[in-house]
Amino acid sequence: MVKSTERLKRLSLFGAVYFVEGAVLTYFSAFNVIYLRSYNLSFSLIGIVGGITLIPFVLKIFIGLLSDRVSLFKAGYRKPYIIFGLVLQSLSFLLIAVVSPVDQFPIFLTLMILAALGMSTYDTTTDGLSIDTTPEEDRGLVQGIMVGGRALSAVIAAAVIGLLSERGQWPLVFSIIAALGLLTIGLAAIVKEKKERPPEMQFSRQAFRSFLDWSFVLFPILGLLYPLALYSTNGMVGVFLNEEMGIPLGQVGLFTSVFGIGTIFGGVVGGPLMRRVGERNSILAATVLTALVTFGLALIPSAGIAWGIVFLFGIAFGYYETVYFAMGMDFSDPRIAAFMFAFIMAVGNIGIGVGQPLAGVMVDRIGFRSMFMVFAAVNLLALPIIYGIFRLRKASQTKAV
């Protein structure tokens, strides 16, 4: 009974943390561009701001390594970091609400970076906690909760932020995001964590040999390409609908909610489908589906068709994320779980950091539709890499036997 209660608390924490993260990512990916465009900043400058803000997510591997090695205040290897990250993010958003991105640009950018640092801290250490405490048979469940919690938040946050942004109530948007983080701290506080780790999970330099496996060498390359195309496309969908298609901001929020519903669906079916057809076929299907839907965005003729395409894009997004993250858990050595998983995610954030400025420049020069076509092609570049990963992984497993 006690174990069941603690398991429920952990699963609730995973869902809550990713719910908060979903609200933040919804703002960063879909509404930050719109917010800064309200101050008449160029797409190129906005793309550069987005790239700089992602620096903490690239550096999150060091947060993971610190968490693997150091029990913060001797209170645990994960939980204290989660609480610190939530506090830092919430305080940063409370201050962003009263800072002008034009008149106080350096302060605004600093606060954005601090908010991202807070998020990267609790994100990395929550992933570490999930790997530490989740048996292999529950990994699909945990990833479903995480992806689903984040997507559910996106559905709700997109509708709320869309309506509030249409009325110019951006400070209230930032305050709501801050409040969500503060509320999650209470749940993090009641989750129990062992202060000492068992021998098989204790930090060891020998674990770094896992990075030398050739299948793992290719895996981060996949993690670089797919978010470069996927997240950069997602970041421009809202402003594309608003500026190119003439859809009001309030409806843009509803479109983002439809995207979120699709993401929930993609996440829910992703785990069971992966067990049924295998990781290889699942990620190949996710790659092709994403490429086709991204190309479909470039061909949208009307707002009516846009509803269906955006929903399909959400399905592709959730499906791809679920399969890739589950593979990342399998690749992560438990002795350096937070570091290794953070490394995998950080490589992906490099792709996002490169993609956002690239997307901004492409929109300024060739327009939204041509940009979507380019990113559809980038998705297809991952196909030979996927084949290579599983061929090398099979060869490695055969050799080990």
Locate 272 and state its tokens: 């069971």
In the chain, what are the domain boundaries? 2-194+208-400
What type of residue sits at position 14? F
Which pTM value belongs to this model?
0.76
Locate 83 and state its tokens: 């609480």
CA geometry: angle 57, 143, 356, nearest 5 deg = 30
pLDDT tens per residue, the chain (401 residues)? 556 787 888 888 998 999 999 899 888 877 888 888 888 877 877 877 788 887 887 778 889 888 888 888 877 888 999 999 999 999 999 999 899 888 888 898 899 999 999 999 999 999 988 888 877 767 767 877 888 888 888 788 888 888 898 888 999 999 999 999 999 998 888 887 777 777 667 777 887 887 877 788 888 889 899 889 998 898 888 889 988 888 887 788 788 778 888 988 888 788 778 778 877 888 899 999 999 999 999 998 888 888 999 999 999 998 898 888 888 888 888 788 888 888 887 788 788 888 888 888 899 899 999 999 999 999 999 999 999 988 887 766 655 54
Give me the residue label for tokens 């749940």: 187
d(CA 309, CA 293): 7
Locate 114 and state its tokens: 């601090």
Locate 54 and state its tokens: 């992602």
Spatial contact of 376 and 232, defined as CB atoms under 8 Å apart: no
d(CA 183, CA 271): 29
Spatial contact of 68 and 197, defined as CB atoms under 8 Å apart: no
d(CA 381, CA 369): 19
- Which superfamily, per CATH, for 2-194+208-400? MFS general substrate transporter like domains (1.20.1250.20)
d(CA 152, CA 367): 31
DSSP SS3 for 245 = coil
211, 289, 351 from 224: Cα distances, Å: 16, 18, 5
CA dihedral over 330, 332, 335, 338, signed as positive or negative: negative
12, 77, 126, 362 from 191: Cα distances, Å: 9, 13, 12, 46
d(CA 328, CA 344): 7
